[in-house]
Structure 1
């Protein structure tokens, strides 16, 4: 049994015992609102301006947006509960959309146009990785053929994959995460049955994650008509991906060696033989690798950046400080300054770590559909535990825990549920308390200090 599952079950037993003894006095826990029944399958209210995704969004957010995660998240503008002791938000934020959330509890601490459907650029590669990464062992090898790298958009970011060369899956994922290589994405997509098949799977996985603002057209995030996502959805992708060990490893790697071309030796005793060199690639996430005007952010551990003509600069980052793990997504800062997306992200991280224990959340990061409580309790905010790599998705691995805590018809919980109606209500609250957390086991925090 994994440590996260043990922790979740121990927490459940303790919570159950406490609630059984305080059945008539303990207050109920607050659950985030479920998605509005008026939402269309696309995740936007039927008939709203955001219901039809576009590669060239309007200059202002639609008046009505999806309410997944809470009604306030569907409102335009900045959403935050300022009160005594809560630090004020940075005043020089220019991003079209952003969101600050607790990666483990799922609490949304503050947001700005969280559900505005915008072009995602290469941050969409987080969904690509979360969808495809579990399918291939990292040691599997693949020889690249011309069709593998066909159809890559002009001006795409490339890691430098060459036809007729052989790469491991590990090499390819390093190319995806460090250099945001569209060539690596296309090779992995072809291994996965082709571009169309991969896009279909990504859209299905986005729906499973309840990322209903997202419409995938190209798996690499390259600008395409009707390809959109939102700051809220990108945060869901990051949170789901971080449940996977390999995802955490790749997104936190600062630099690595990537295989070069095979060449023939022209001189010496080895003349006529072939040799293959390598070259260094560095992560383009500047909060992880640093730059001339951006320092490495303390506690940073990933996740993914992007930049295209339609999307502008986009970024989702995860960082840890004092036992708290926060996710920040920033989309398209209007301020035209070098590395502005990272500067605004850093400011939001700074605010979030100061506010996390003081501010009342404005919404929640919803769990995947597959982890919803069997008893139909109000939406939880995550899962207890989380699968590692090896073919099992994080949401699948958490189902037994959700069933045991929320479905509760066996063992001590079943007995407790049969005592009184008051205990039943309180145990439903206990199930929410356990299920709402989604721990990030063994979160990689290597090379996170300047």
Structure 2
């Protein structure tokens, strides 16, 4: 029978490692940031307020290579196309692999692509056959020149019609009605709160909704990475895929409410092969934004971009170029992955190895010690860990005791 012997030298090495490990987990030194390829717009964009900084731990969600404000592409991959978008990401929705991105976790203003978060939060809650009457408060704060479905005060519409109006016409009026109904007793604020709860569930850490429509609001931000998480959640639903792929919808007449037809807002449907659907957005603050999904040869790629300008390509042209780049990459090429809600909430620490690329490793009590432990407490903790196997052998038969790590 082999026994473990704890020598003074072994204890010294372990103790010195433990003392170094006191405090937050260490991360590998950041690699030199690669500049995102960019094309200069014919006219300079307006001066915009600086977005808030990204928490370093949140920036590494999905993989350490994504913790950059610059470019992240697989080794040996062709250079990504030059675009005006200040942040973008291409991901495989089937495998969850992130193929590449520019500032993937950077805070950006969403505009109407925020409506996808409204769908992710409330589509599971609302009965599509439910009839809803539009109130005056639903339309009170909307600019008539903004994107509207065209509902009228006192009109009655099915929830399904409102979803079509939201996704085909980017209806800000439909967004307000859906948020009010989905918010229950709390009304529209409750609907917005549900959006933020869903963002938290999806681990979209840079996303905060202030309005249901994506119209600019205080502290309202998202990121290219977060939008890919939200797109994956929405495109997983059959009803959402059916709505977003609709090109023309008839809104039925109701007593006192005439019927009307709505057509799909400008997206890549019918313009880019394999497009399953997409959503555009624009405000003066956000500039052009886009989220879209296309399928080719069994691969389903999502592209998200924020802060694009109307020229020379516009958001749709830039999305097409990024999709072409993504489909040209070999299968399996990636710089990270889209996290799932059920994954471990906190990122695993990265242990740097000199001369090697740092990879995430599983966190354990022997690697990361609590902050604030004194030297004596560290020594006691190390001794207890080392002696634990002997105690287990001596007490395994004792009644009422568990030694498998469970309480």
Report the TM-score, using the length of structure 2 for normalisation: 0.68
d(CA) in 2 for partners of 1:154, 1:164: 17
Instruction: Note if 1:182 corresponds to 2:172.
Output: yes
Shift of 1:261: 7.8
Show the counterpart of 1:283. Answer: 264
Measured in 2, the distance between the counterparts of 1:366 and 1:68 equals 7
Deviation at 1:198, TM superposition (A): 1.0
Find out whether 1:353 has 2:336 as its counterpart.
no
How far apart, CA to CA, are the structure 1 residues paired with 2:149 and 2:283?
17
Paired position in structure 2 for 1:42? none
Distance 1:38 1:191 in 2: 46
Give the 3 Å change call, closer, same or farther, for CA 258–68 of structure 1 in structure 2.
Answer: same
Aligned-residue offset at 1:258: 2.4
- Cα 1:185–1:334 shift into 2, 3 Å: closer
Report the alpha carbon displacement of residue 143 of structure 1 after superposing the two structures with TM.
1.9
Q: Deviations over 1:282-335 (max 9, x none)?
A: 21142015xxxxxx1100011321111111110011010001110100112246
Establish whether residue 77 from structure 1 lines up as the match of residue 58 from structure 2. Answer: no
Corresponding residue for 1:108? Answer: 98
Distance in 1 between the 2:217 and 2:72 partners?
Answer: 30
Q: Distance in 2 between matches of 1:240 and 1:358?
A: 21
Are the equivalent residues in 1 in contact too, given 2:90–2:322 (CA < 8 A)? yes
Say if 1:102 and 1:356, in contact at 8 Å, map to a contact too: no
Partner of 1:367: 340
1:325 aligned residue: 300
Q: Which runs of 5+ in 1 are unaligned?
A: 1-35, 40-54, 264-275, 290-295, 380-450
CA distance in 2, matches of 1:162, 1:356: 50
How is 1:67-146 mapped onto 2 (pairs within 5 angstroms)?
Answer: 67-83=60-76, 86-90=77-81, 92-146=82-136
- Paired residue secondary structure (1:257): strand
The structural deviation recorded for 1:93 is 1.5
Once residues 283 and 151 of structure 1 are traced to their aligned partners in structure 2, the CA distance between those partners, rounded to angstroms, is 24
1:236 match = 229
Greater CA drift, 194-203 or 318-327: 194-203
Distance 2:292 2:153 in 1: 33
Structure showing greater radius of gyration is 2
Per the alignment, do residues 319 and 356 of structure 1 end up closer, same or farther by CA in structure 2, a change over 3 Å counting? farther
Gaps of 5+ in 2: 1-23, 28-46, 350-407
- Cα 1:261–1:332 change in 2 (3 A) is farther
SS of the aligned residue for 2:259 comes to strand
Hey, what does 1:172 align to over in structure 2? Answer: 162
**What secondary structure sits across from 2:109 in the alignment?**
coil
Q: Is the 8 A contact 1:162 1:261 kept in 2?
A: no
Asked if 1:258 corresponds to 2:251, the answer is yes
Task: Check 1:286–1:332 CA distance in 2 against 1; reply closer, same or farther (3 A cut).
Answer: same
Matching residue of 2:369 = none
Whether contact under 8 Å (2:280, 2:290) holds in the other structure is yes
Which of 314, 322, 346 is residue 340 of structure 1 equivalent to?
314
Is residue 51–residue 108 contact of structure 2 (8 Å, CA) maintained in 1? no
1:216 partnered with 2:209: yes
TM-score, length-scaled by structure 1: 0.62
The answer to which of 182-191 and 328-337 deviates more is 328-337
Could you tell me which residue of structure 2 aligns to residue 302 of structure 1? 277
2:181, 2:191 within 8 Å by CA — same for their partners in 1?
no
- Whole-Å separation in 2 of the counterparts to 1:197 and 1:211: 19
